[in-house]
Amino acid sequence: MSEMPFIVIMNDGVRVEGHSAYDVCDRLRRMDWEVPDSVLDFKRGVAQRCQVAGMFLVFWDESSFLYAAHEAKVFRLRVNGVEP
């Protein structure tokens, strides 16, 4: 079985996998406590929560969002089996 190209590993060990950055963000959106209406709303909500904690996420699409959240230590990211 081949590994998914994008894997997010949450701090509690839960893994969220997908074939694309959008797929992972959509799966994360569905896991969010508010279940935002769109992936964009989900990303904005995470960025707002990070800002409250004193971190700023700068992103322009799903891929850059995943990298920014990884850098802010919101979760760990693996792309094709490698952490950025």
H helices within 16-61, ranges in order? 21-31, 39-52
pLDDT tens, position by position, 21-65: 999 999 999 999 989 999 999 999 999 999 999 999 999 999 999
Write phi, then psi, for 6 (nearest 5 degrees): -115, 125
In this model, does residue 1 exceed pLDDT 80?
Answer: no
| The CA-based dihedral angle spanning residues 65, 69, 23, 10, taken in that order and rounded to the nearest 10 degrees | 180
Reported confidence tier of residue 84, pLDDT bands at 50, 70, 90:
confident
Question: pTM for the full model?
Answer: 0.91
Are the C-beta atoms of 43 and 35 separated by less than 8 Å? no
* Average pLDDT rounded to a whole number, residues 53-78: 95
65 CB-contact burial (10 Å; exposed 0-12 / middle 13-18 / buried 19+): buried
